[in-house]
Structure 1
Amino acid sequence: MTSIKKWPERSWGVLQLLLVVCVCEAEEPVCHRRGDPENPQLSEDGDIILGGIFSFHSSWKDREETYTNKPLPLECTSLNFREFQFAQAMLFTIEEINNSTDLLPGISLGYKMYDTCGSPAKSVTVALALTNGNEDVSAQSKVPCIRPAQVQAIIGETSSSICMSIANVIGPFHIPLISHFATCACLSDKTKNPSFLRTIPSDYYQSRALAQLVKHFGWTWVGAIRSNNDYGNNGMATFTEAAQQLGICLEYSVSFFRTDPPNKMQKIIEIIKHSTSKVIVAFLPFPDMDELISQLSQHKLTGYQWVGSEGWIIDSQIAEMDKHHILDGAIGLAIPKAHVSGMREFIMDVKPLIASGKETFTEFWETLFSCKFNQSNSSAENQRECTGHEDLSELQHSFTDMSLMPIFNNVYKGVYAVAHALHNILGCNETCNYKVQQDPFTILQQLRKTNFKTKEGDEVYFNENGDPPAKYEIINWQPRKKGTVDFVTVGFYDASLPAAKQLSLQNTSLIWAQNTKQVPVSVCSEKCSPGTRKVLQKGKPVCCYDCIRCAEGEMSNTTDSISCVKCPPEFWSNDIRDACVKKESEFLSYEEIMGALLTAASLFGTCMTAVVALIFFRHRKTPIVRANNSELSFLLLFSLTLCFLCSLTFIGRPSEWSCMLRHTAFGITFVLCISCVLGKTMVVLMAFRASLPGSNVMKWFGPTQQRLSVLVFTLIQVVICILWLTISPPFPFNNFQVIKDKIILECALGSTLGFWAVLGYIGVLATFCFLLAFLARKLPDNFNEAKFITFSMLIFCAVWITFIPAYVSSPGKFSVAVEIFAILASSFGLLICIFIPKCYIILLRPEKNTKKNMMVKGLVKTK
């Protein structure tokens, strides 16, 4: 329905004709009515009159106004039997109060009930009629302008929009308006609607409860249909806000009103057909849902999961109209079930309708039984004659259906609230004080403070906004075999509880769309599994996204994660990226093939060196051993043994001691080795110089000087290593950067300067030795000692020059392997080039291992 702000101008004209105008005649003001009087459809006199406003008709005939003649009264159509039930509930309550000796003793309540036809303009007219009175005023009669209101309170209306229209009009008069079914949260605003109260919870809570219900079943992609009135628009606005907070997206949100042209309904049907969401939230009152179902039935739009508001979810008439089972499995919120003893029997007994409204009863009865009375003005033909004694008990009709008993109970509580307020104002005990002036404002104040229990045990009170406590049942439509529907309670919602406990679902098996027991799925995008993250799709709602796998080293262990978490340095993501696992530690170990091969090579070199030493020792008195400075040779073999063995310190898990030992041992043993080679080179040069006439150089480079030179050169390296270990020694280090998914256990250098000083010193000695050997390569020598030294140093320098770039570029344990290879290669180069030719002579050519052969070209014995 449209709100009062959208009335057409002709409606204002009708309203103006009905306003009471004061004129002055003689000295006293009198009031005359303009326009046609409004007569109640149902009425009965009493000491105190209560007003009732109901939509006995749900629509009206359109007509074009000429604005030249007085507008005709609104012609109502489409009898609404639900509203007759509400009226009967009010009559039952009034009769029960009048028969009570405890509440308002000696006071009789009367009533005047009007029909609004579902029109806001008509509702304002009848509200003014209830407020001002409705006496026919002749030209001669004089009615005082100042008199009390005709009614003390008004019960109704069903529609939120109509209640807003009425509340705006009667608000300044402080006449209480108590609605049994108007749920719009906008009516809780006391600055705009100071005299409005209700016995049904506000949609502020219902909309949030619906959002929680949708979220509970994992539906994040839904469609929404609402009534284009205050009830639908405000309720859906609150639902949309709550849904967004819960991560629910609306694919579409459309509105309509039952009187809209057919093309608008067709557009809504097309939207539903082309949508991808399988869940539809319908925030509609019964008449609008009735129209929507008729349209959906024509197109047989089944397979959708409907989520309903209390406006239609327990309406059996909607279920009867759903011939194509469109709403099977629907779920929604309803006012908790209630029972009022005697009310069902009273509603089925239509005598009160006959007594209080003859014309209204006639139309009601003829429509109910599809007949007509003889005196009726009904234009229908070929209808049987009504007797007035037709049996209601055998009739299957919406009027005989009591599924809306919770709403009837709301009417019951509203009337009782007024009665309790009057009882307190009139000071009723055994009798009531008739002298107390009944003022609507006083009644309104007393109503706000009312707190009582009905005979059924229901507690009735209003909060500061005029609303009752918000409690709902969760209803599921479960079809029977006979084609009927059971409204099964499957849970509850209580807004007074903590947020986590407000929604409670029972273990009852639910039936879903198309009579399945499988919970429907309605999402724009499937859930992102652990190990992935959500990336929003451009230009689409937040519920539409792509699932992107987490990058290496990141993980997500929750469903629909919006981001991936980076693993700690010691951890790495597993293959599916849903957990961080401890990184595998990598170092050069003895168990792996590369480590085993290098170990074998090291031990082989050690054994080979030992064999050479043994050969030299067994033949230590032979000319070739004595001619090659046996002391330096044995010292060189000892240092080569240490070189081969020091490579083993590079294999295995790094520790503080192994890190300090490996580099220092390597540096010292290689300097010892190069010092011995340098000593042998110097011996060759000095021996040639000594063989020249008049040379006495050998006395300056005898055995003592040779030992001293080796000691000095080695001590220098020892000092460098001690300084390195003292200032910033190498230490074990977990390297996370070289290989991302592994921890490289290595030895950090500590002081880089110390490391390069050790290597640099070795390089300087090796270069110096190579230059001396190169200069002595053509000196006369039967066994080419200088050439062998030159070649060995050439290999040594080549190995360590290529070592630097290979070491820098090798990742992880391979850099250690490169360093070990350089140590072994240079050690084998020295061993093979210097000692193997001599072993060949000793073992295979002993005829050349003679003193005579040594002296052929003047090789000087040095020891």
Structure 2
Amino acid sequence: MSRLNAETECIAQTSEFKKKGDYLLGGLFDHVRGTLHSNIPVAPLFMMDLIPMISYGASSSVFSRKQNFPSFLRTVHTNEDVIEIIWKLLKEFNWNWVAFLYIDDDYGRDGLNVFIKKIKDTEICMAFSCGLSKNTNYPKLFKQIESLRVKVMVVFTAEWTAEDLINSAIQQNVTNKVWIAVDAWSLHKGLPKKAGIRNIGTVLGIAEGKVTIPGFNDFIYSFKAQIQYENEEQDSFCNQMCNCSSLSAEDIITADPSFNFPVYSAVYAVAHALHAVLQCGADSCNKDIKVYPNLVLNELKKLNFTLLKQTVQFDKNGDPKFGSYDIVFWNEGGDAERIGSYTFHPKITHFKIDKSKIHWHGDKKEPESFSSEECPEGYMKKQEGFHKCSFSCKICPKGTYVNTTDPYNCISCKDTEWSKEGSTSCTARLLEYVSFSDPAAIVIMIGTVILLVLTVAISILFALNNNTPVVRSAGGPMCFLVLGCISLCSISVFFCFGKATTVFCMLRYFPVILFGSVCLACFAVRSFQIICIFKIFDKLPMLRSYWTKYYGSCLIICLVFFIQAAQLISGIIVSPPTPYPDTLSYSDRFILRCYILKNHKASSGSLSLLFLLLFLTFFFSYASKNLPKHYNEARALSFCMLHQILIWIIFATGYTLYHGKYLQVFSALATLLSLYSFLIKYFIPKCYIIIFKPEQNTQQYFQDLILTYSTQSPYSL
């Protein structure tokens, strides 16, 4: 009630000043460290008219909100700065399982909120938090902390709350803990000397850096010698009270020095701002200038002066960009020994600590505080329960790894990388392929060259004997188309070797599928013609007429060519056959494979047409098996197609079972063997007749064969 009366009187005084046309200037200086109550009720009154208010003790983060407190500045660091130092301290010692005990008021709750925000998305977990008050049940509190196996406690409280907490810890025989004290009680004079304080563990603290104020001691001694106490009514004016009658000069000098420099710099800040507004020189100021609060506020925001070797500046929120904190340790002598510091500069901060100065109480070794032990390298953390610090360890399987940036997931390696089980990184796979200099590749390419030579030789031989019965019965001009397609198919063999590229993938399959289809279409038409000549045309002369009139052979072959070409080209345009890494063959290597066509509809259509032609040719040629004994063209086609089917069945089986780098050698070999089967089973026998059996390459010989078959065949008329 007395505080409320004092504040009411202050409001009345403020109103009186306004009536006279004058304005309040300067700052309101807190007398309670960290409390909000001395500022929140009064601060809005100053904010309305932008009257500058400089605090040396209000550390709550709420005062950084300029939309609510536009003219509030301070020379003490905020709770955010204190929590930042606590966070660095926890990281320094790898303490990630902590309790946060705070005074149950606005100051403490602000500290809790700032701490929660700070540790979010970090390795630190808050295992437990509790607001402390006069009614706190400390025995129950310590039992909860013990049940959670928490070794480190951040105590964000005022002095009186810290006294109750530490005294209760001594009474309850709490041992082997680390207590992190904030600047409100880290320099407590009595607690470090209390009996049993070493039993509860080690106390580390954060304190305002001690700065010696020149002439301060002389001023106190002089003040105590000359002080004259005023009456009580004057003492309570605007809540500015100072009754120091019970304190000696030594008591004041040896008191907590935390506020020394904040108070000193606050006074100097106001003085410098007024000095600038009044345009003061070395001896005098401009008395004609009328001082308005906003003018002083603007100058305060722009301040940049050196005081006791520190540059006094404020940031955009009115918070200090200067000062320092000490990291202290309560040693065996009962003193708060400085073991480190955290220094603020306008642009950077600097944190350092000397661990060798800390003598851990209790079991004499650096404490550890974690919910779960750290996982070995190569193991991921599998969260169990609410806290991410509670986890089990699971080894990362082959092909994955775990790193420090994301310890909760095993990350898959790229297709071109590999890793062993329990890895922390991936290793680049070695690319393997059959080079052109490989012995298998050389043998197959030599075989392909021989095939081309044979094809050219057969073409020349057939061209020289173009009008003979053997060449005409083999298909006549169609033979040259087949031989040309065989030559073009052989191009694919050469691109089965070397490093796969998009162009290589196209040329590996495009020629053999397209020209192989044309080749099979020629054989299918030829086998159909044979069965028609001997078994169908005589019964259906109209079919023969239409077949001849509309060039049935050419029509079917061209149709197959254009359908297959359209499917292949559209598939390549839509999705080019880019190589993809095959990682199944080896753990540390990979092979570039080629999709026949990434467009599955186009590839299935192309292959379906190819195999349809193969089976049609086999069907027609097999249906003509009972033709003249020496007229073996149909039998040659039957054996040729049967070999084709066997070759590609064997290749498909091998392709399924084997995944090594020589798979492309098998592909090239299958292509080459299928092309050789065309030559050996169909063309070579005819070359043998032309060269070595010229008597069978006559018109009369063929007519005799057909006549003999016609008189013996049940199909003859």
Judging changes above 3 Å, is the alpha-carbon distance between structure 1 residues 236 and 402 closer, same or farther for their aligned structure 2 residues? same
Correspondent of 1:668 among 515, 523, 526:
515
Deviation readout 1:353-403 (Å, 9 max, x if unpaired): 9999xxxxxx989xx9xxxxxxxxxxxxxxxxxxxxxxx99xxxxx59825
Q: Distance in 2 between matches of 1:780 and 1:532?
A: 77
Deviation readout 1:483-523 (Å, 9 max, x if unpaired): 755235522357xx56xx4x532465564571799986545
Q: Distance in 2 between matches of 1:650 and 1:418?
A: 85
Judging changes above 3 Å, is the alpha-carbon distance between structure 1 residues 319 and 340 closer, same or farther for their aligned structure 2 residues? farther
Contact 1:603–1:645 (8 Å) recurs in 2? no
Q: Helix, strand or coil for the counterpart of 1:474?
A: strand
Q: List gaps (5 residues or longer) in structure 2.
A: 15-26, 47-52, 62-76, 231-244, 272-292, 585-589, 709-717
Correspondent of 2:128 among 232, 245, 252:
252
Judging changes above 3 Å, is the alpha-carbon distance between structure 1 residues 490 and 775 closer, same or farther for their aligned structure 2 residues? closer
Judging changes above 3 Å, is the alpha-carbon distance between structure 1 residues 668 and 716 closer, same or farther for their aligned structure 2 residues? farther
Paired position in structure 1 for 2:493:
648
Judging changes above 3 Å, is the alpha-carbon distance between structure 1 residues 737 and 352 closer, same or farther for their aligned structure 2 residues? same
Q: Distance in 2 between matches of 1:227 and 1:250?
A: 16
Q: Helix, strand or coil for the counterpart of 1:280?
A: strand
What code does the residue aligned with 2:204 have? Answer: A
What code does the residue aligned with 1:748 have? Answer: L
What code does the residue aligned with 1:477 have? Answer: V
Displacement of 1:473 in angstroms is: 3.9
Q: List gaps (5 residues or longer) in structure 1.
A: 1-120, 125-163, 357-362, 369-391, 394-398, 420-443
What code does the residue aligned with 2:36 have? Answer: A
Contact 1:227–1:284 (8 Å) recurs in 2? yes
Correspondent of 2:212 among 338, 341, 344:
338
Paired position in structure 2 for 1:313:
186
Displacement of 1:235 in angstroms is: 2.2
Deviation readout 1:53-79 (Å, 9 max, x if unpaired): xxxxxxxxxxxxxxxxxxxxxxxxxxx
What code does the residue aligned with 2:640 have? Answer: S
Judging changes above 3 Å, is the alpha-carbon distance between structure 1 residues 735 and 243 closer, same or farther for their aligned structure 2 residues? farther
Paired position in structure 2 for 1:779:
627
Paired position in structure 1 for 2:107:
235
Contact 1:567–1:573 (8 Å) recurs in 2? yes
Q: Helix, strand or coil for the counterpart of 1:187?
A: coil
Displacement of 1:319 in angstroms is: 2.0
Normalised TM-score (structure 2): 0.58
Displacement of 1:281 in angstroms is: 1.7
Aligned length: 597
The answer to which of 649-658 and 519-528 deviates more is 519-528
Judging changes above 3 Å, is the alpha-carbon distance between structure 1 residues 167 and 306 closer, same or farther for their aligned structure 2 residues? farther
Correspondent of 1:504 among 311, 334, 350:
350
What code does the residue aligned with 1:337 have? Answer: V
Judging changes above 3 Å, is the alpha-carbon distance between structure 1 residues 324 and 347 closer, same or farther for their aligned structure 2 residues? farther
Counting only pairs closer than 5 Å after superposition, residues 370-519 of structure 1 correspond to structure 2 as 402=254, 404-407=256-259, 473-478=324-329, 485-488=336-339, 490-493=341-344, 497=346, 501=348, 503-506=349-352, 511-512=357-358, 514=360
Q: Distance in 1 between matches of 2:570 and 2:299?
A: 89
Paired position in structure 2 for 1:226:
102
Paired position in structure 1 for 2:143:
270
The answer to which of 479-488 and 190-199 deviates more is 190-199
Counting only pairs closer than 5 Å after superposition, residues 177-196 of structure 1 correspond to structure 2 as 179-191=30-42
Contact 1:278–1:521 (8 Å) recurs in 2? yes
Contact 1:677–1:789 (8 Å) recurs in 2? no
Correspondent of 1:202 among 59, 64, 78:
59
Judging changes above 3 Å, is the alpha-carbon distance between structure 1 residues 782 and 530 closer, same or farther for their aligned structure 2 residues? same
Q: Distance in 2 between matches of 1:560 and 1:718?
A: 56
Displacement of 1:282 in angstroms is: 1.7
- Residues 1:767 and 2:616 are matched in the alignment: yes
Judging changes above 3 Å, is the alpha-carbon distance between structure 1 residues 277 and 401 closer, same or farther for their aligned structure 2 residues? farther
Deviation readout 1:784-824 (Å, 9 max, x if unpaired): 66444333334445767999999999999999788656644
Contact 2:111–2:156 (8 Å) recurs in 1? no
Normalised TM-score (structure 1): 0.50
Q: Distance in 2 between matches of 1:658 and 1:825?
A: 20
Displacement of 1:651 in angstroms is: 0.8
Q: Helix, strand or coil for the counterpart of 1:213?
A: helix
Q: Distance in 1 between matches of 2:536 and 2:168?
A: 122
Judging changes above 3 Å, is the alpha-carbon distance between structure 1 residues 729 and 612 closer, same or farther for their aligned structure 2 residues? closer
Deviation readout 1:522-555 (Å, 9 max, x if unpaired): 45567899999887654x2566567889999998
Q: Distance in 2 between matches of 1:517 and 1:836?
A: 96
Q: Distance in 2 between matches of 1:199 and 1:483?
A: 28
Judging changes above 3 Å, is the alpha-carbon distance between structure 1 residues 556 and 628 closer, same or farther for their aligned structure 2 residues? same
- Residues 1:297 and 2:170 are matched in the alignment: yes
What code does the residue aligned with 1:240 have? Answer: L
Paired position in structure 2 for 1:213:
85
Paired position in structure 1 for 2:241:
none
Judging changes above 3 Å, is the alpha-carbon distance between structure 1 residues 170 and 716 closer, same or farther for their aligned structure 2 residues? closer
- Residues 1:733 and 2:577 are matched in the alignment: yes
Contact 1:530–1:578 (8 Å) recurs in 2? yes
Contact 1:529–1:560 (8 Å) recurs in 2? no
Judging changes above 3 Å, is the alpha-carbon distance between structure 1 residues 859 and 180 closer, same or farther for their aligned structure 2 residues? same
Q: Helix, strand or coil for the counterpart of 1:330?
A: strand
Deviation readout 1:543-599 (Å, 9 max, x if unpaired): 65678899999988662478899999x87786679779889878886578xxx7587
Q: Distance in 1 between matches of 2:33 and 2:528?
A: 113
Displacement of 1:719 in angstroms is: 5.5
Q: Helix, strand or coil for the counterpart of 1:185?
A: coil
Deviation readout 1:581-629 (Å, 9 max, x if unpaired): 889878886578xxx75874675477589789999999x99xxxx9965
**Which one has a bigger Cα radius of gyration?**
1
Judging changes above 3 Å, is the alpha-carbon distance between structure 1 residues 796 and 472 closer, same or farther for their aligned structure 2 residues? same
Contact 1:513–1:520 (8 Å) recurs in 2? no
Judging changes above 3 Å, is the alpha-carbon distance between structure 1 residues 180 and 411 closer, same or farther for their aligned structure 2 residues? farther
Q: Distance in 1 between matches of 2:268 and 2:526?
A: 123
Contact 1:477–1:487 (8 Å) recurs in 2? yes
Q: Distance in 1 between matches of 2:444 and 2:426?
A: 39
Q: Distance in 1 between matches of 2:506 and 2:267?
A: 93
Deviation readout 1:323-348 (Å, 9 max, x if unpaired): 55346461213364334646389679
Q: Distance in 2 between matches of 1:470 and 1:616?
A: 93
Judging changes above 3 Å, is the alpha-carbon distance between structure 1 residues 266 and 651 closer, same or farther for their aligned structure 2 residues? same
Judging changes above 3 Å, is the alpha-carbon distance between structure 1 residues 319 and 303 closer, same or farther for their aligned structure 2 residues? same
Judging changes above 3 Å, is the alpha-carbon distance between structure 1 residues 187 and 517 closer, same or farther for their aligned structure 2 residues? farther
Contact 2:381–2:393 (8 Å) recurs in 1? yes
Displacement of 1:243 in angstroms is: 1.2
